[in-house]
Each structure stands twice: as structure tokens, then as C-alpha cells.
Structure 1
Amino acid sequence: MEDLPSNIMVDILSRLPVKTIIHCRCVCKKWRNIVSESHFANIHLSRSPAGLMIWHQSEQLMTGYCKPGVLKWVEISDDDHRLLHDPVMSLDLSLAPVFQNVQIQQVGSVNGLLCLWKFGPEGDNTFICNPITREYMILPRQKYYREGYAIIVYGFGVGLQTKEYKVIRTFQGDIPPNQYGSTSRPSLLEAEVFTLGTGQWRSLGHVPYWLSGWDGPFLYGKAHWMVVDQDAPEKLCTFDFDKETFQLFPSPPSEAIEDSSIHFQSLAVLNGCLSQSDTYDSQFMIWVMKEYGMKKSWHKEVVTKLLGISVS
């Protein structure tokens, strides 16, 4: 095996299941270097079955914080799309000293890597975690607005052209802070970006739109968020990880239910398509963008009502 050309070894190892790959890292230094390369990760990812990362949050502690929880990666059956019972891996974040007695929020996922945001009394930190290898890196401490309250919105992705992995986060708040519960547009809308491998955050300056949500789902080289600004012609916004620019994005038709007392919205990636869910007190619906970037391709995929469910 040692005499085989490197490309042949990569081809062989990339066909092994994840659990075996983890053990291969311990065989020899050469194998460890091979399976640690990003090129190998991309090949193995293209040959691996679809999977789902499930985050089990733990109970709240007496201190008021929750345990970080457990990450489980479950593969999806190719035949009937069922979740396989035996998880590929399980990682208890509370076993890592750096994650103890803090709150953890998953704010991004790309090619098997997770972006985690840790926040607590001592400030916040951002981590990039590989749950399969149980490795993580701590990003340098970001600029922190102590002058006033700021909501932080994240995005994690990789450029389609540069192939660079980046973390984008926006600060949205007021200096001085508004009264609690204020719905006026924040006076502070700024962003920073971190390119993995550079060791530092870069300021992107002013963000043109008021964004909603903890994180922005990644698809086609862009992060996606909902826009809060009432006068915006579209209610979605993207961040291009290659160009590092924000831009409005076609949103699904607005169908407000007048007699509903609640309306929650969220974005996700469903079967490789951008999707938006709308939750009311009497109805739940999922919109799916069949052709990326085409406003007319938004299709109402699922509608759940009190009397039943309809799928179109």
C-alpha cells in the first residue's frame, strides 16, 4: 500500500465509510496527511451518502445556561430516504473544557464543517468544528460593541471561485441602545468577515439591509437571510462569499393571514433548493425556489392546517 501513487491511495481511501476514515488517521503519518487535506475531503464528500447533523440540546443548568448538547450525524437511506438508526458519529460538546458553562448556537454548516458561536459572561467566540474528526479551531476575538446592545447575525460558506471558507457576521444595534422592545431600524449595521487561514477579521463597513435570524443558510456560494426593512422591494438578502457583497434576492409571494396572532419565518435548504417556512397560529407552509434566483420559480410545496395537510 505504501508503494502506491498518492492519487491511487486517495481514490481508495475516499471510498471508505466515515468511521473507517477516522481510524485511518491513526495508521501512519502519510495516511493522516492524506485524509486531512481539503482535496480529499471534497472527494470523499462527493462519494458519501446524504446525511443529517442533529443537535440535541441539553437541559438548562442552575446557572441559567444550557449544556452545549450532543451532535449526532445520521445517514439517510438511499432507498426510502429514512434516517438510519445507528448514527455515524456522536459528539458531546460538554466534554470539551472550552464549551463548558456557556451557551452554544450553531450558526452555519458547510461541507461537514460547523460554525459555532459561544457566548457567555466573558464575551463571545466563534469556532469552526469538524465533528467527525473532533477537531475545532477558535477564531480570533471579534470587534465587540460594548457601547450598546447589538444583535449578531452569522453566515458561513465557501466561495465558488476562490474556494475560500469564510465567516460573515453583522452587528445590528443602537448606540446608545434603544428602549427594550423597540422596533425601529438599528442605527448600527456593520459587518466583519473572516477568511479561514488568514488569522484576522476584516471590516466590511456598513450593511445596507436590516437582517433577521441567527444564521444564513448557504447555497450556491451565498448566505441567505430575511430582510426586516419594510420598504425593501424584496424580503430576502444574500452575501456573495467571492465578491463579499450584499444584495437583495427574490422572495416568495407574501400571503399574510389577517386573523393570525403570530407569524414566524425561517430559511433553509431543502433538497438542494432554497426554502422559506411561514408559521401562523392556524397554518404552516413551506415555499421552495425550484430554479435558483428566479422569482417565478417559488412554489408552495407544503401547507399544514388544523384540519390536515396538503402537499402540492
Structure 2
Amino acid sequence: MEDLPAHIMVDILSKLPVKTIIHCKCVCKKWLDLVSDSYFANLHLSRSPTSLMVHHNSENEMTGYHKPGILKWVEIKNELHHHMLHHDPLMSLDLNLAPIFQESQILLVGSVNGLLCLWQFGPESDNTYICNPITREYMILPRQQYYRQGYAIIVYCFGVSSRTHEYKVIRIFQGDIPPDSTSTSRPSFLEAEVNTLGTGQWRSLGHVPYWLVGFSGPFLNGHAHWIVIDKNSPEKLCAFDFDKETFELFPSPPVEIIQESGIHFSSLGVLNGCLCQSDTFDSQFTIWVMKEYGVKKSWRKEVVIKQSISPDLDWLMWEPVYLIEGLNDGTILMVYYEDKLLAYCPKSRTIEDTEVFDRYFSAMAYRPSFLRLQNFELERVHLF
């Protein structure tokens, strides 16, 4: 291969499995330089298949609190009539071993082009990190402006501008809610700030006009999306435009009410490139799909899972269910609360526990990449 032109070598290397590419970096300096180049990273990303990133927590037996946890990359291998989830322990990133995360918990905020956004919180910490688990790089963003002690809800999103291709972290502080207040007590402090990676600072976006639910808003088509709590709002969804940096109401699916149901959880997700909303009742689970982005009339009720189809999963309708990813064969992956990774097959109308992970984990769609954090000039980059 030494006699091949550089662009041919890059093309060949970019088609190899991620683990093989990592090994190729150790073969010689020429291959290391090729793989480390931004052109290679972008080419590989364009061919990178969707997989899963699982953040697996564990409890500290002494304190009862969760540890920082482990990031586990799960490949989705599509066969002719089925799929397989494969996790290589050697590709895991153990955050418990990182000194910077000690005595704190970590939440997985979002994933864009192979980069992960993590939120670290604890008695003495409130920090935001960007990392690439494939290259083992990470950087810490500056301290947020709106950090306050006391009862508050923090809402995040991590995405990239469609026009400028700048990566941004959005953080919304919904504060001054008395701990014993009802769910109808609107926060008196709704403020947002944004960090454009590479600038080394947070900028205030001012007041947020909507009260949002959901820790992390799914990113799609240059927008973050959340559910709006306000009862009088004409639409029940809100979108943040990463180009204009504005919050606007977004077309929501029809409101479904089941009179005899005492439970109703809603969450947003992205399946096969479409915005989706899941509604969990104590008798059924529903998935709405927006077929044409931004068009209200394009919402379709695609899936209705009745409790009777899975009698062995009688616990399914008692906690929130979060959509993760749609596979080539139509299977839908979702997380039940923080306990189980479930797979729903629309062809057989069955749902099963994959038994890949159990208890205290979150998951999201992930595309592995070799994008270097060194490209963000004003941020100091470290290695795990």
C-alpha cells in the first residue's frame, strides 16, 4: 500500500471497521497522519453507520449515589432477516477511572457526529464536557453563567448549525421552583445560554418564553426539540434554531386522551431521520411520527402497543419509555425508564427485552467518528 496515492489510501482506510482503523494508526507515521487529518475524519463520518452509545451507571455502595459510569459503544450489525447488538468491552470508556469525575455523577446530554456532550454534577461540581470516546479526547467548557445553588431544573441540547457548521451547547436554567410546589407552578426564572465550541465562552440568550420538559432535547435538522408544559400553548412542542438562536413553537401531534388511564408520560426522539413522540399510558404505548419535518398534517400514529401483546412485560406501561433508534428491518429500540433496552418488531407486533444491559443506564443513537477536538482553537484538549 505504500505505493498507492494518498487519496486511494484514505479511501481504503475510511471503509475499515473503527477498531481496525485505530490499530492502523499504530502501523506507521504516514498512516497516523492520514487518519488524523480532517479530510479523513469527514470522509469516514459520511460512511459511518449508526450505532448506540450507552452510559451505564453503578451505585456507590457506601454513599448510595451513582458513580460517573462507563460509556459503552454498541454496534448494530444488520443481517438478512435480523439484527445483532455487539458490545466490545475493549472499546468502553470507564469514567470512574478519570480523576476529574470523582465524587460526581455524569449525564449523557447528546451526540452529534461522534462527539458526546456530558454534564457533570455533584455537591461541588456543575460542568459541561465534550468528548470523543473513539479518539479518547475531551475538553471542559467554561463555567456557566447561570449556575445557582438551590432547586432548579437544567435543560440541555447539543447540536450543530446547518449554515455555519458550528457546534453549540444550549443550556436552559428553569429556576426558583419551590420543591413542594405543584407541576402547574411556572418557574419564575427561565433563562438560556449557548456555548459555541472554540469561542471559550458562554453567551446569554436571555429569557426563554416556554416552560420545557425533558432533560435533553433531541437534535434534528438544525433544531433542538422539547415538549412544552404550558396548558394554554397552541402547540405542545418547542424548537430551538441553531442558526438563528431563537425559540419557537413547533407543530405537535394530536393530543391523545385515554379517560380510564391514570398515567401519561410523553417524550421525544428521532427514528430513521424523523421526529417522533412517544406517549405511555397504563394500558398502551403509542408512537407518533412526523413524516415531513415541520408540517403538522404529516404527523402519523405509527405504532400502538397494547399491554396484552406482551403479557410477560406487564411492567411496561408503568414508567416512561424513551425512543432510541429505528433499525433497517423496522425494529424500534427504546429504553424503559433506566432499566431495560427493549426492541419492538412491527412485523410480528412483539416487544422483547434485549437483555444487553440491565438497570441504571441511558442510551442514544451514535455515529463513531475520528473528528478531533483540536479543531476548536480556544479550548484546551485532554486525553482520557
**Alignment TM-score, normalising by the size of structure 2:** 0.75
Matched, 1:132 2:134: yes
- 1:25: which partner in 2? 25
Q: In 2, are the aligned partners of 1:74 and 1:83 still within 8 Å (CA)? A: no
What is the CA-CA distance between 1:285 and the residue it aligns to? 1.0
- 1:211: which partner in 2? 212
Q: In 1, are the aligned partners of 2:263 and 2:280 still within 8 Å (CA)? A: yes
- 1 or 2 for the larger relative contact order (CA 8 Å, sep ≥6)? 2
- Mapped to 2, the partners of 1:73 and 1:39 lie a distance apart of 24
- 1:187: which partner in 2? 188
Equivalent residues in 2 for 1:283-294, closer than 5 Å: 283-294=284-295
What is the CA-CA distance between 1:240 and the residue it aligns to? 1.2
- 2:175: which partner in 1? 173
Give the letter aligned to residue 120 of structure 1.
Answer: G
- 1:68: which partner in 2? 68
What is the CA-CA distance between 1:3 and the residue it aligns to? 7.0
- Partner secondary structure for residue 11 of structure 1: helix
What is the CA-CA distance between 1:111 and the residue it aligns to? 1.2
Give the letter aligned to residue 45 of structure 1.
Answer: L
Q: In 2, are the aligned partners of 1:192 and 1:203 still within 8 Å (CA)? A: yes
Shift in alpha-carbon separation, 1:223–1:32, aligned structure 2, 3 A: farther
What is the CA-CA distance between 1:119 and the residue it aligns to? 0.1
- Structure 2: segments with no counterpart, 5+ residues: 311-344, 348-384
Equivalent residues in 2 for 1:140-155, closer than 5 Å: 140-146=142-148, 148-155=150-157
Q: In 2, are the aligned partners of 1:49 and 1:78 still within 8 Å (CA)? A: no
- Mapped to 2, the partners of 1:199 and 1:31 lie a distance apart of 32
Q: In 2, are the aligned partners of 1:109 and 1:115 still within 8 Å (CA)? A: yes
- 2:97: which partner in 1? 95
Between stretches 225-234 and 2-11, larger displacement belongs to 2-11
Give the letter aligned to residue 287 of structure 2.
Answer: I
What is the CA-CA distance between 1:191 and the residue it aligns to? 0.5
Shift in alpha-carbon separation, 1:30–1:193, aligned structure 2, 3 A: farther
Q: CA RMSD in A?
A: 2.3
What is the CA-CA distance between 1:181 and the residue it aligns to? 3.1
Matched, 1:121 2:143: no
- Partner secondary structure for residue 86 of structure 2: coil
Give the letter aligned to residue 281 of structure 1.
Answer: D
Q: In 1, are the aligned partners of 2:73 and 2:87 still within 8 Å (CA)? A: no
What is the CA-CA distance between 1:147 and the residue it aligns to? 6.0
Matched, 1:229 2:230: yes
- 1:83: which partner in 2? 84
- Structure 1: segments with no counterpart, 5+ residues: none
Give aligned pairs, total.
Answer: 310
- 1:52: which partner in 2? 52
Shift in alpha-carbon separation, 1:187–1:39, aligned structure 2, 3 A: farther
- Mapped to 2, the partners of 1:243 and 1:152 lie a distance apart of 22
Matched, 1:254 2:255: yes
What is the CA-CA distance between 1:153 and the residue it aligns to? 0.2
Give the letter aligned to residue 17 of structure 1.
Answer: P
Give deviations 1:226-282, integer Å, cap 9, x for gaps: 111111111111111111111111111100222222211111111111111111122
Q: In 2, are the aligned partners of 1:110 and 1:157 still within 8 Å (CA)? A: yes
Shift in alpha-carbon separation, 1:232–1:127, aligned structure 2, 3 A: same
**Alignment TM-score, normalising by the size of structure 1:** 0.91
What is the CA-CA distance between 1:100 and the residue it aligns to? 2.3
- Mapped to 1, the partners of 2:249 and 2:117 lie a distance apart of 24
- 1:107: which partner in 2? 109
Shift in alpha-carbon separation, 1:36–1:227, aligned structure 2, 3 A: farther
Shift in alpha-carbon separation, 1:30–1:142, aligned structure 2, 3 A: farther
- Mapped to 2, the partners of 1:6 and 1:224 lie a distance apart of 42
Give deviations 1:21-56, integer Å, cap 9, x for gaps: 222334455544543444432321221233122222
Between stretches 37-46 and 239-248, larger displacement belongs to 37-46
What is the CA-CA distance between 1:110 and the residue it aligns to? 0.8
Q: In 2, are the aligned partners of 1:17 and 1:48 still within 8 Å (CA)? A: no
Shift in alpha-carbon separation, 1:186–1:136, aligned structure 2, 3 A: same
Q: In 2, are the aligned partners of 1:104 and 1:118 still within 8 Å (CA)? A: yes
Q: In 2, are the aligned partners of 1:66 and 1:101 still within 8 Å (CA)? A: no
- Partner secondary structure for residue 46 of structure 2: helix
- Partner secondary structure for residue 77 of structure 1: strand
